Copies of this chain bind each other. A is one copy, B any other.
Amino acid sequence: MNIKDAAEKSGLPAKTIRYYEDIGLVTPDRAVNGYRDFDAAHLHKLTFLAQARGLGFSIEDCRNLLALWEDQDRASGDVRSIAKQHLAEIESKISGLEAMRATLADLVETCAGDDRPDCPIIDRLQGPAK
């Protein structure tokens, strides 16, 4: 199968698939004309990558997960450990964003948003409450 079909079936852009080949995540065969040729196994791997990236795993996480995926004797604890760590990172990002949201929402609310030059948002950005 050519790259476009692989892209459609995996849900990844063709550009991304070429990039993944560059960095050694997949190694499609090559047809005599030089075109990449994907089989079911490659497609499976690409789908795996699309899923994992969609869940926010980094490329390096994906590399590790792929290795575990291909290892018949893997311990599910290894996978769980990567997932747990990633979960912790996500939770920390959420907290950070929620703090930002609170501050910003507060600022937006106290700002009249009219044509006068006073603006509590600008005031606040001058420095923390001082």
Interface residues of A (CB under 8 A from B): 44, 47-48, 51-52, 55-56, 65, 68-69, 72-77, 79-81, 83-84, 86-87, 90-91, 93-94, 97-98, 100-101, 103-105, 107-108, 111-122, 124-128
Contacts and interface: CB of A to CB of B under 8 A. Distances in A.
Nearest to A111: B80
Given A104-B86, A126-B44, A119 B51 contact: no
Nearest to A112: B76
Contacts of A83: 104, 107-108, 111, 121
A124 B51 contact: yes
Looking at chain A's contact residues, is the secondary structure mostly helix, strand, loop, or mixed?
helix
Contacts of A100: 55-56, 90
A114 B91 CA distance: 24
Contact of A90 (B56, B81, B97): B97
Given A55-B103, A55-B104, 4 more contacts: A74-B117, A76-B114, A79-B121, A83-B111
Contact of A121 (B76, B105, B120, B121): B76
Contacts of A111: 76, 79-80, 83
A93 B97 contact: yes
